[in-house]
Amino acid sequence: MTKLKLTPADRVELAEWNDLVTSIKESSDINPMDTTAEIQARRRRLETDPESWFRYYFEMYCTSKAAEFHKAATRRILTHERWYEVRAWSRELAKSVRAMMEISYLSLTGRIRNVLLISNSLDNAERLLLPFMANFEENQRILQDYGPQKKLGEWETGEFTLRTGCSFRAIGAGQSPRGTRNKNVRPDFILIDDIDTDEECRNSERIKNKWKWLEDALIPAMSVSGRYRILFNGNIIAMDCSIQRAIEKAKDLKKKHGIGHVDIINIRDENGLSVWPAKNSEEDIDMFLSLISTSSAQKEFFNNPVSEGNIFKNIVFGKVPPLSKFRYLVIYGDPAPGESRKKQASFKSVCLLGKLKGTLYVIKARVFRGKNEDFIEAFFNQYSYVQGKATVYCYVENNKLQDPFFQQVLRKHLLRLRKKHGIPLNIKPDEDRKTDKATRIEANLEPLDREGNLIFNEQEKDSLDMKELTDQFKLFDLTLPYPADGPDCVEGGNRVIDMKAGSLEKTVTIKREKLRSLNKYRR
């Protein structure tokens, strides 16, 4: 008998499977002495309470208390027999695990008969199906209460049928869903999980074709007159992606037929706090997000597919000339009224800027959310940094809406900090009328960046404030998908520098006779 040779990839997959099975067995201990009556009573009790059912049969996955958005999502998917839902949940919010437990509940209780699991490739779809298969095969609590589920002859990777009669099949995007009937039962639950890839989202035609396959081939495999649940799991990773199109479809279905729902849940709520603190603490979120770029964080954890370099493509760090070389420097501040430190609040920004031979240098930056006192303190810190090597002008943005704020709030802090530091620092309100923020930033700063004339101090490259400022430049777009308070501050300071340059230039007087002599047409 010829032995089947395993490839290295096969060995890795087998090891992963064995680890998964072992973990499931160890976390699903039972009392083998339970009577039939006890088992039946437990089933009846747990089936009336899905959350308790999840915690008992899937203890391995329920390591943190479910959040309210988890429970609400489960109520919707279990209650409605005809349903179209999009869960654009951030990473680390257990959207795949939640869906697995819900589908397992529905299949073991006889409420669904034919499940299709869809992902961006067949391999990923089969990988998505493995936890289902492992639990139905080796979860001791499921086996004790619902009986053995492995059905010989109908049990293989990517496709199997339970003894309860429910079938499961993994399908990769674009693969034909034909032949997916379970006897005479058409698919009644379709889970579409992480169907988008970054590569595909760069090509609108590929997204169009994938969506056409979903609507023309996959969903029509379900019964017109029967039950159907369609669940999309994924993140909004691009402006045009399958999840974004599914969101629009769900909104339309809700409006017309009341069967659609969109659930967009970020890692943090609108107040900047963890939506699932039982699992993800604020410290853990901050630590992890520091490991990845801001654009990646926005895409994967905040459903905000911002792209780097749409407007400001260079972001050059360089050496700042000696401060004594500058005729003058400007410290400009954008106050962002309010003192909220919430993650969604506007940023306060203070930047020390100088211009030499047409090049704008961002020498120091303070970009943060927090107290008004700290905002004024930043002026003193940057003023002290100059050490008298150049004349310094200080300005703060002060439009008509902000004027009372400057006079009543900021000025109070200014007067107190003058005494504290012993520095007679003056801050002049910038009362110039301004045009649209996004347009103004692009029009006045993009040409400088394009020509290599916008330089960020290389000595401040590792500063958290400078990193936030340059991130805001990188992610800047005219639609302002990400805060742009830092670039707005730089633009304001640059405008003041140019204004000062004009006012400080000496007036040149030319005699009429000299002017006439220079006119070739009068010779």
Q: What is the 3-state secondary structure (H, E, C) of 242-279?
A: HHHHHHHHHHHHHHHHCCEEEEEECCECCCCCECCCCC
> CB atoms < 10 A from the CB of 5, how many?
6
Rg (CA), the chain: 31
Q: Are 237 and 198 contacting, i.e. CB atoms less than 8 angstroms apart?
A: yes
Nearest residue to 201 (alpha-carbon basis) of 173, 175, 170, 163: 173
Query: What is the layout of strands, in order, in the sheet containing 189-193?
Result: 155-156, 159-161, 167-172, 114-119, 189-193, 228-233, 82-89, 260-265
pLDDT at 523: 47
For the chain, give percent helix, strand, coil, nearest 5: 45, 15, 35
* Burial per residue of 481-518, b for 16 or more beta-carbon CB atoms within 10 angstroms, e otherwise: bbbbbbbbbbbbbbbbbeebeeeeeeeeeeeeeeeeee
Torsion on CA atoms 214, 215, 218, 220, rounded to nearest 10: 170
Burial of 108: CB neighbours in 10 Å, binned 0-12, 13-18, 19+: buried
Beta bridge partners of residue 167, listed in sequence order: 114, 161
Residues 6+ apart with CB under 8 A from 175: 122
pLDDT at 319: 97
Q: For residues 87 and 230, what is the distance between their CA atoms, to the nearest angstrom?
A: 11
**How do the domains of the chain map onto residue ranges?**
10-264, 316-504
pLDDT in tens, 420-468: 999 999 999 988 877 889 999 999 999 999 999 999 999 999 999 999 9
pLDDT in tens for each of the 523 residues of the chain? 455 566 777 677 778 888 888 889 888 899 999 999 999 999 999 999 999 999 999 999 999 999 999 999 999 999 999 999 999 999 999 999 999 999 999 999 999 999 999 999 999 999 999 999 999 999 999 999 999 999 888 899 899 999 999 999 999 999 988 767 677 789 999 999 999 998 999 888 999 999 999 999 999 999 999 999 999 999 999 989 999 999 999 999 999 999 999 999 999 998 889 999 999 999 999 999 989 889 899 999 999 998 887 899 999 999 999 999 999 999 999 997 766 666 666 899 999 999 999 999 999 999 999 899 999 999 999 999 999 999 999 999 987 555 567 777 888 999 999 999 999 999 999 888 778 899 999 999 999 999 999 999 999 999 999 999 999 999 999 889 899 999 999 999 999 999 988 776 554 555 656 545 554 444 4
How far is residue 54 from each of residues 100, 268, 465, measured CA to CA in Å?
Answer: 10, 25, 44
pTM: 0.81
Question: What pairing do the DSSP bridges indicate for beta strands 391-397 and 82-89?
Answer: unpaired
Nearest residue to 226 (alpha-carbon basis) of 185, 257, 269, 274: 185
**Residue 157 has which token pair?**
């990777």
Nearest residue to 372 (alpha-carbon basis) of 348, 350, 351: 348
* Burial per residue of 64-101, b for 16 or more beta-carbon CB atoms within 10 angstroms, e otherwise: eebbebbeebbebbbebeebbbbbbbbebbbbbbbbbb
pLDDT at 176: 87
Q: For residues 301 and 303, what is the distance between their CA atoms, to the nearest angstrom?
A: 6
Indicate if 316-504 has the same CATH topology as 10-264.
no
Homologous superfamily of domain range 10-264? P-loop containing nucleotide triphosphate hydrolases (3.40.50.300)
| Longest alpha-carbon distance in the chain | 120
Fold category of 316-504 in CATH? Nucleotidyltransferase; domain 5 (3.30.420)
Q: Are 28 and 139 contacting, i.e. CB atoms less than 8 angstroms apart?
A: yes
Burial of 56: CB neighbours in 10 Å, binned 0-12, 13-18, 19+: middle
> CB atoms < 10 A from the CB of 454, how many?
23
